[in-house]
Amino acid sequence: MARNAFLSLTLALAATATWAQAPAAPSPERATQLIRMVRQDCGSCHGMRLTGGLGPALTREALAAKPADYLAAVIIHGIPGTPMPPWSAMLSDAEALWIAQQLSTGFPEERKNPAP
């Protein structure tokens, strides 16, 4: 229930004030995993190039009006009534915020030649 409240637009917008607080950046290994996860697994719905599909586009342009805290909340809690699931079982709050910030600034490409 607290989750739904957190999702509410008002709170998400209010949270914009705090998004300058950078979370601890993930380790390089974890960052690689997260980038792969977003490209490949979130890509099931949002497209590998994040241009959208069953889920909306996640390009920098498409997300221009969405604060990173709001995006992080959506990642962690999902959006009830839509196919967007909560990813809290697989991501920490800090990782979600890091992903959200990366999305807001244009998401990194995967490294070439990933693990064999």
Residues forming the site for another protein (CB under 8 A): 36-37, 40-41, 43-45, 47-49, 51-54, 78, 81, 83, 85-87, 89-90, 110, 113-116
What is the closest distance, in whole angstroms, from the C-beta atom of residue 52 to another protein in the complex? 6
Least distance to another protein from the beta carbon of 64, Å? 19
End-to-end Cα, the chain, rounded Å: 43
Smaller CB distance to another protein: residue 83 or 108?
A: 83
Closer residue to another protein (CB): 20 or 89:
89
Nearer to another protein, 24 or 90 (CB): 90
Q: For another protein, which is the closer residue by CB, 22 or 79?
A: 79
CB 99 within 8 A of CB 34: yes
User: Which of 112, 75, 113, 114 lies closest to 92, judged by CA?
Assistant: 75
CB 71 within 8 A of CB 100: yes
**What Å distances lie between residue 92 and 13, 26, 27, 41, 47, CA to CA?**
21, 10, 13, 17, 23
The least distance separating another protein from the CB of residue 49, rounded to whole angstroms, comes to 5
Shortest approach of another protein to residue 106 CB, angstroms? Answer: 17
Can you tell me the distance from the alpha carbon of 108 to that of 39, in angstroms, rounded to the nearest whole number?
9
